[in-house]
Structure 1
């Protein structure tokens, strides 16, 4: 590795060295940490806009159900990487707020599917539109290709083993 004319490390034959990798990982960790903290704060704000009693973590459940349609609690728990008890507690709270309803799973009469209620769709849709408008304002100066690339890279990170 050597320094390029602009001061950046330039990869030479043999690939990047540990110093380049460590600095890259430090920067990645820092940016993901900031992104995560901001996303959590934003989820809390959006959850309260959907319903004042909604837990921040439950907002993601509503979004998932809107995107996928009815799902089993076990599928939701696996997707979010949480235990069955945690998922059951969050879903029970969503049901009590009238945002989610259970229906029998036609593929297995012993199981249930969770779906958004009409009220859940309405409330979530209103909040998501406001969030999209905020993203649009934040990214208005970005090249659309960069926005698509960011989405692609985040998807790649989120689906990595």
Structure 2
């Protein structure tokens, strides 16, 4: 579909996504600094996956995130150096490792996440609950099919 035939609603979606991504990048810098002053902004999403998973193999995490094992391994190494992530031997395969947040990583992540959720709560406090639920559902649907 060429630009001149693109429905106005799709143009609006593109415009709003661009604004959301721009704000998201700025927010990522803020949140990363809250977790640790030397944390790269894109590492917050990685920490979120580790927090949700509890413990996960590097290969499985790379698949879920859609990035290469080498790239992920370098990122994990940096997070280990900051004391936020640890590797433990996989009980099912001694050649592999399980990744998880350290106690310090969990503490710092949870504090930064609480601040982020507070921002979202303040932004959406005037929205009816059903609108917030619908927004979450639609974002999930978009991300799941994207």
Using the size of structure 2 for normalisation, the TM-score is 0.92
Q: Alpha-carbon deviations, 1:30-81, whole Å to 9, x = none?
A: 1111111111110111001110000001111111111121111122222222
**Residue 10 (structure 1) aligns with:** none
Deviation larger for 137-146 or 100-109: 100-109
Please state which structure has a larger fraction of its residues in helix. 2
Aligned residue for 2:58? 73
Structure 2 CA distance, aligned partners of 1:85 and 1:129?
Answer: 31
Residue segments in structure 1 that go unaligned for 5+ positions in a row: 1-17
Aligned structure 1 segments of 4 or more residues deviating by more than 3 angstroms? none
Aligned equivalent of 1:12: none
Which segment is superposed worse, 81-90 or 144-153? 81-90
Q: Does 1:83 align with 2:68?
A: yes
Q: Give the one of 102, 107, 110 matched to 2:92.
A: 107
Structural mapping, 1:1-161, within 5 Å: 22-160=7-145
- Counterpart CA distance in 1 for 2:36 and 2:106 is 12
CA apart distance, 1:108 = 1.7
Higher relative contact order (CA 8 A, sep 6+): 2
Q: CA deviation at 1:114?
A: 0.4
Structure 2 gaps, min length 5: none
Give, in whole Å, the separation in 1 of the partners of 2:62 and 2:107. 24
Match of 1:5 in 2: none
- Count of residue pairs brought into register by the alignment: 143
Shift of 1:147: 0.6
Answer with 1 or 2: which has the greater Rg. 1
- After superposition, the C-alpha distances for 1:111-158 in whole angstroms (9 at most, x for unaligned) are 111000000010011111111111111000000111111111111111
TM-score (norm 1): 0.84
Q: Calculate the aligned-residue CA RMSD, in Å.
A: 1.4
Aligned partners of 1:29, 1:82: CA distance in 2, in Å?
A: 24
SS of alignment partner, residue 45 of structure 1: helix
CA deviation after TM superposition for structure 1 residue 25, in Å? 1.4
